[in-house]
Structures are given as C-alpha cells and as structure tokens.
Amino acid sequence: MQTKRVGWGLFMIAALAVLLLLPVRAGAETQGVTDDSVLVGSYQALSGPQSIVSLVGKGADAYFKMVNEKGGINGRKINFIMEDDQYQVARTVAAVKKFVERDRVFALVGGMNTAGVMATIQYTEQKKVLQITGMASSKFLFPPMKYGFSVRPASYVTGLIMANYALDKLGAKRIGIFYYDSSYGLDTMDGLMKVFKERGVEPVAKAAFTSQDVEFSSQALLLKDAKPDTVILVSSFRDSPRLLTEAEKIGFKPTFFGITENNTPVLLKLAGKAAEGVVMPSSLPQPNSDMPQMAEYRKAFSQYYPKENAFNSLPMIGWSAAMTFGEALKRAGRDVTPDKMVEALESIKNWDGGLAYRLTFAPDRRDGQRALRMCQVKEGKIVQIEDFIEIDKVK
C-alpha cells in the first residue's frame, strides 16, 4: 500500500513538472481571449421604444464582420455578441453581469445607455473588463476610469463648444435652453453655463423635461414668451422633433441649435419641415464623405445590413467604437491582456485612421475626441456649414 502511494505521488510530481515546462498559450489566462479569438459584448436596445439606437450595435457588428472576413487581427477573429437592454438601466446591469460572469467577455464595445454605463462602470473596473463606449457622460470620463474609454466628445465638452459657437458664429443675444433633466443633459448644461457665466451671458429661459413627458407644449410656450433669438436643444432626435413641432404650431421661429444626437436622418423624418434650419454639431464625418474610411464603412455596413441606412450617424458611432477597439488590439500584439489594451489605447495620439477626428487617449484622458463640426438642415438635408472646431484643454 505504501509503495502504491509513493508511486502515485511521484507520478503527480512528474506530471506537474511536465506542465510547468509546457509553453503558456498567448492569452490563455485572459478572460475572453483564446489563441484564435477575442470575445466582445455589447448591450443595445434591440427592442422597445428606443430600438432605433440598436443601429449603434449593428455598426460595430458590421466592422467586426468585415475584419473577420479579412482574417481577423493578429491572427484572432472577433466574436461579437449583443444583449437587449431596451435602454433600461436594470436590464443593462443584468446584461453586463451576464457578459462578464457567464459569457466571460474580454471587453464591452459600443454601449450607448448613459445611465447604464454609469451603473456598471465600477463593476467592470473591478473585473478589469474594458468598456469602449459611444456615450460621453462627463461623470464617466472625469476623473478617468482605467478601463473606460469614449470615442466621442464628453457631453461637458459639447456644451463648451456649442456655447462659444452660439455666441461667436450664430450671433446669439438672447438664449433659451430646452434640456433633458438627466445626468447627460445636466453634463451638457454644465459646459454651456460655464461659458455663459464667463462671458457674462444669462439665458432668458430654461425649459426642462423628463423621460415621463410625452408632449412639450408648455415648454414651447415658456420659451416663446421669453423671446429668445436662439434656443439650444439639449435633447435627442426623439425629443427634439416634438418641441420643433410644437414651436411650429405657435409660430415660434428662433434659431434652433441641437446637440450631436440630433444629427441623424431620424430627426428629419420625425420633425419634417419643422426641422428646417436647425443647426447641430457632429463628432463624425459627413456620411457621404469621400474619406477612404467612410467609403469602407458604407460598403461594409450596406453589405451586412442591406435594409438599413448607412447614411446615418448611429451605426457610424458603433463602427467608430469597434474600429478603435480594433486599432488597440492591433497595437497590443499577440499578448493581449486588459492592461496591455489600456497601454495600446493610451498610445493613440491624434489618430485619424478611424472615423473620430484626431482621436487621442492618455493616462489622464479617456475622452478620445474634443472636436465638433457644425451642420444645418437645408432644404430637407443635413449639410456641413463649419469644419471641426477643437479645444485643447478641458477646465
């Protein structure tokens, strides 16, 4: 009996020694990474009233499909999976936990639910799971999280740029603000009000709304009574059309200046003629741009999603987030870990290889873009009226 025990012990020691001598596979110890694949997740509103936003996920999916057809990145294909969160925080939290604990993804790419990102970022930080998002809440970006990145300007930065543009280029003298009373809306308001305070400007009216409001007649009347020449719309492509329609009904015709979320054909479809003349920024190139990256995007997105409109900023946001992930994965090489990906992302400086303008990350910077170009609705089409306006520092 003793001989058998000794023999078994020697066998186990020998087996362990052999295992220790075997080469360790690249990525074998990294969640979601194998020799030939990387698993990436994305929470999207695949159903429900906000399902139009799922175009962001489709944009990311189209990029990864294109990359995989070309052989992947550094010998690895990207396995991309989406979960339906219906743009609801509780569902986002559940989706992220499923991604991390059951699916064991390496990263999350293209999330757009601002409140959902804020509800999950501490969890993904703890789990060392990257989030490269299409949203831009300032609370998510300042101070920077280690594993959280955004490919779009922070909402606070958007407010800074828009406030100066309203005063300097639109010639605004009397400013009204229509804003979403939420973390995202208030972030943008912080940027707007900082500039207005510094420049001695006091808005003549502020009309707030919440997700519970279904019509905006009272807000339209409040703004009209204040007689503004310019109204800034801190509202989405779903909410802005309702105010624009109400304004048209009561003959209220200031210059409307909307945030980036309005820069989509959806606004034109929902608002109709009431959208004519609306000014709005964009963090992305014009959809019909002749840039090689845009031609590549339009071709791939139309191939994989032929029933969708490629001339839309929503899939472009997802494509941009996915392309940024792909660039970092390329720079990280074969030894892929969360920390190596952070280093790779932080090496991106003034990168114009994607759709974002002069994308830059650093240890103290997670908002990759600090520039917006200006567009306007003219004769039922969104056209560019000003090239990218960039700020160097965020105070």
- Condensed to tens digits (0 to 9), the pLDDT of residues 112-136 reads 888 888 899 999 999 999 999 987 6
In a domain, 10, yes or no: no
107 contacts 131 by C-beta, under 8 angstroms? yes
Are residues 163 and 183 located together in one domain of the fold? yes
- pLDDT greater than 60 at residue 346: yes
Are residues 167 and 250 located together in one domain of the fold? yes
Question: How high is the pLDDT of residue 226?
Answer: 99
Question: How high is the pLDDT of residue 127?
Answer: 98
- pLDDT greater than 60 at residue 315: yes
**Residue 260 sits in which domain range?**
156-282+374-390
List Cβ<8 Å contacts ≥24 apart for 380-389. 380/268, 380/273, 380/276, 381/268, 382/263, 382/265, 382/268, 382/280, 383/286, 384/286, 385/279, 386/165, 386/169, 388/357, 389/161, 389/165
Question: How high is the pLDDT of residue 183?
Answer: 80
Angle (CA) 128-132-136 rounded to 5° is: 120
- pLDDT greater than 80 at residue 81: yes
Average pLDDT over every residue of 173-177: 99
User: Three-state DSSP class for 148?
Assistant: strand
Average pLDDT over every residue of 51-75: 97
Question: How high is the pLDDT of residue 21?
Answer: 36
Are residues 381 and 253 located together in one domain of the fold? yes
Question: How high is the pLDDT of residue 133?
Answer: 92
* Residue in the block written with tokens 């056209």: 383
Average pLDDT over every residue of 7-20: 42
Domain count, the chain: 2
By percentage, how much of the chain surpasses pLDDT 70? 92
Q: Which residues of 146-167 are buried (b: 16+ CB within 10 A; e: fewer)?
A: ebbbbbbbbbbbbbbbbbbbbb
Query: Could you tell me the pLDDT band of residue 139, with boundaries at 50, 70 and 90?
Result: low
- pLDDT greater than 50 at residue 10: no
Question: How high is the pLDDT of residue 135?
Answer: 75
In a domain, 32, yes or no: no
Sheet containing 279-282: which strands, arranged edge to edge? 205-209, 175-180, 230-234, 255-258, 279-282, 371-378, 381-390
Average pLDDT over every residue of 39-48: 97
E strand or H helix at 384, and its extent? Answer: strand 381-390
234 contacts 180 by C-beta, under 8 angstroms? yes
d(C-alpha 134, C-alpha 256), whole Å = 24
Question: How high is the pLDDT of residue 325?
Answer: 98
Question: How high is the pLDDT of residue 15?
Answer: 43
Are residues 93 and 182 located together in one domain of the fold? no
In a domain, 11, yes or no: no
Are residues 213 and 124 located together in one domain of the fold? no
User: In CATH, what number is assigned to the domain containing residue 217?
Assistant: 3.40.50.2300
Question: How high is the pLDDT of residue 29?
Answer: 79
Are residues 383 and 271 located together in one domain of the fold? yes
Phi, psi of 42 (to 5 degrees): -155, 130
- Condensed to tens digits (0 to 9), the pLDDT of residues 22-43 reads 334 444 579 999 999 999 999 9
Average pLDDT over every residue of 85-100: 97
- Condensed to tens digits (0 to 9), the pLDDT of residues 202-221 reads 999 999 999 889 899 999 99
- pLDDT greater than 50 at residue 188: yes
Query: Could you tell me the pLDDT band of residue 140, with boundaries at 50, 70 and 90?
Result: low
Name which of 134-148, 282-296, 339-353 the model is least confident about: 134-148
Are residues 167 and 276 located together in one domain of the fold? yes
322 dihedral zone (left: phi>0; alpha: psi -120 to 50; beta): alpha
Question: How high is the pLDDT of residue 142?
Answer: 75
Are residues 252 and 329 located together in one domain of the fold? no
In a domain, 26, yes or no: no
Question: How high is the pLDDT of residue 374?
Answer: 98
Are residues 106 and 79 located together in one domain of the fold? yes
Are residues 351 and 266 located together in one domain of the fold? no
Q: Give 277's DSSP letter.
A: T
Are residues 246 and 171 located together in one domain of the fold? yes
Name the average pLDDT for the chain: 91
